[in-house]
A and B are shown apart, each in its own frame.
Chain A
Amino acid sequence: MNIIVCMKQVVDLQQIRIKRDTREPVLEGLPVLFGDMDKNALEEAVRIKEKHGAKVTVLSVGSAKLKETVLEALAMGADDASIIIDPACDGSESATTAITLAEAVKKIGSYELILVGEGSTDNYSGLTGSRLAEILGISQITYVRELTVEGNTVTAVRDLEGALEVVKTNMPVVISVTSEINKPRRAPLTQILRASRKPLNVWSLKDLGMAPDRLGSAASGIQVIGNVAPEQERKGIIFEGEVNEMVGRLVDALRKEGAIS
């Protein structure tokens, strides 16, 4: 069985600073890593491999830093990786990324399962998996928190608002997983050392037979016209000191606000 895990490289969101005057985020120089739920997807793929035997391929579109980022995924247990690095991909969004991933999936050729995270850690739009399934013309199961593979069939437990739904389908299928599905392993040191020796394909759009104008911000259906931290009009009153006094002052303030009676 061949499993493809699509992963997105994102900046470390914990380290984002906001410029005080313009409220713009400072992204330059931030470390990049794979998103949390992308790691859940990879972990699940590696678990299936350990149980049933499978080849796990990591697939990602991104910047040149991807060559380093992908090593962690290989150390976590992927067998090989294909990464697409091309300046024409800059400014891509879900629609253009899905087209690129679909072409790469076709180039990889054989697959039974495609695993993705429910959403990326940064944008959380949750669109790429659905678009990819539509382009490839295969079925999709979203919000999966339990996954079982048996022969050619997958059984999945979907996490919906008020209910859990058990569904079944034949492979190939695109599966998007939630963070509840597993706890991704930390790559053992021995594997980190070995990761750089695993097969890594670095592809350009030309390698995928794609014209650059199909992609990037020009082809993107979305134009971002602003991206700033929301204005917080909070009072920012901080009580410190003796407990009874702090509680008393808070309760007084809340009564004045009409928040409590």
Chain B
Amino acid sequence: MSPGILVSSERDSGIFELLTKGRELAKQLGLSISALVFGNVDDKKAQQYFEYGAHEITAIPNMDPSSLDAETYAYALFEVTKDNGQDILLISSSKLGKETAGRIAQKLQAGCATDAINLSTKDSTLVIERYSLGGNTVSTEIIKTKKKVISIMPRTFEANPAPVTGKVRTIDLKPPSQRVQVVERRKKTGEAVSIESAENLVCVGQGIVKKEDLAMINELCTALKAELGCTRALSSDFHWLSEDRMVGISGKRCKPKLHVSIGISGQIQHTVGIMSSKLIVAINKDKEAPILKIADYSIVGDLYQVIPKLTERIKSGGP
């Protein structure tokens, strides 16, 4: 196999996304691009990956992507890449992918960057950007080792087709014996929300005095057709909202078109999750709050007075 980039994700959407970015990098670096796919790949399914530019698919039919663990994932990546020229591994930075990145990097003695938010090339070198210092800065890094492992924040790039003719390689790998045994897997309670893909997002913080007041915020969300997110305190400490609504460095990273931040001071651990919003509106009583510095429009005022009026104006469609 010619030297190249290998992309991998436990989800097809992740593979398509990484193939789209990966083929751009492959072109600039003069490399081939292939994808590692867990599960069975028939002709019809293979065609989907070729659609996004994969020159080759390596399929591992006996490994089920839905029950994959990091130990098996890293083992598979190692077996697939150890003896060929696939030196750049691009992995979706889901929790599974991020853990796997560390393990495979150590197995390959490779340098590794996790949670990348951008990839580019400069002078035939791959350049990675990722948040650093808790989101205060963006660090630009290159990996010096021959093998390079990079995990990329999900939904960083948009998947676009660019069909090629590729081939499928099927390999039979026996998963290593499991040292960690899964006893049970249970869905998280509460309705499934995916605030990461919300077009409009309202986030609330500790400016909200009591849980009952969220009803007022929900009305605004309805008027804006927005999903509701929150800071860590409101989910992890107060348990007013489920953790899948938590936005920030230990929660979700969102990129809505419109983001309305309510009663949030704007600590970097939270704002890193909304930095990519197209338009940011902040409502805060403190003019000195850091959130105002990253907002397009801010109202300095008492949210309990502002929100009902704002909801009413948006609903009425009037001036």
Residues on A lying within 8 angstroms of B by beta carbon are: 11, 13-14, 16, 18, 25, 93-95, 98, 118-119, 121-131, 133-135, 139-143, 155, 159-170, 173, 178-180, 220-230, 232, 234-240, 243-244, 246-248, 250-254, 257, 259-261
Contact = CB atoms under 8 A, between A and B. Distances in A.
18 contacts: A124-B249, A127-B101, A166-B186, A167-B183, A170-B179, A179-B232, A220-B144, A221-B112, A227-B140, A235-B297, A237-B298, A238-B287, A239-B297, A239-B298, A239-B300, A247-B309, A247-B310, A251-B313
Contacts of B250: 118-119, 178-179
Interface in B236-292: 236, 243-244, 249-250, 257-258, 267-269, 275, 279-281, 287, 292
Interface string B77-107: 0000000000000000011101101110111
B142 A225 contact: yes
Contacts of B287: 238, 240
A120 B243 CA distance: 20
B143 A222 contact: yes
Contacts of B292: 236, 238
Contacts of A254: 258, 279, 281, 297
B133 interface: yes
Given A118-B250, A130-B102, 18 more contacts: A13-B269, A16-B133, A18-B137, A119-B250, A131-B103, A139-B179, A163-B185, A168-B181, A169-B181, A221-B144, A236-B298, A239-B298, A240-B287, A243-B302, A251-B310, A251-B313, A257-B279, A259-B258
A36 to B, nearest CB: 9
Nearest to A252: B319
Contacts of A246: 299-301, 306
Contact of B138 (A14, A134, A227): A227
Contact of B114 (A16, A127, A178, A238): A127
Contacts of B215: none
Interface in B129-150: 130-134, 136-145
Nearest to B317: A261
Interface of B: 70-71, 94-96, 98-99, 101-103, 105-107, 110-115, 127, 130-134, 136-145, 179-188, 192, 224, 232, 236, 243-244, 249-250, 257-258, 267-269, 275, 279-281, 287, 292-302, 305-306, 309-310, 313-314, 317, 319
Given A221-B112, A234-B294, A254-B297, A127 B258 contact: no
Contacts of A159: 243
B112 A139 contact: no
Sorted from nearest, which 10 A-B pairs have the closest CB atoms?
A221-B111, A130-B102, A134-B106, A226-B140, A13-B134, A139-B179, A235-B296, A127-B102, A166-B184, A166-B183
A183 B76 CA distance: 37
Given A131-B102, A179-B232, A247-B306, A227 B137 contact: yes
A225 B141 contact: yes
Contacts of A240: 287, 300-301
Contacts of A257: 279
B8 to A, nearest CB: 16
B13 to A, nearest CB: 13
A176 to B, nearest CB: 8
Nearest to A219: B144
Contacts of B70: 130, 140, 142
A248 B319 contact: yes
Given A143-B95, A232-B294, A251-B310, A122 B133 contact: yes
Contacts of B269: 13
B102 A237 contact: no
Given A179-B236, A236-B293, A167 B180 contact: yes
A180 B243 contact: yes
A29 to B, nearest CB: 15
Contact of A163 (B131, B134, B144, B187): B187
Contacts of A98: 106
A232 B96 contact: no
A146 B102 CA distance: 22
B17 to A, nearest CB: 16
Given A169-B179, A243-B309, A247-B306, A225 B140 contact: yes
A190 to B, nearest CB: 27
B105 A131 contact: yes
A141 B269 CA distance: 24
B185 A166 contact: yes
Contact of B134 (A122, A125, A237): A122
A165 B306 contact: no
Contacts of B232: 179
Contacts of A236: 292-293, 295-296, 298
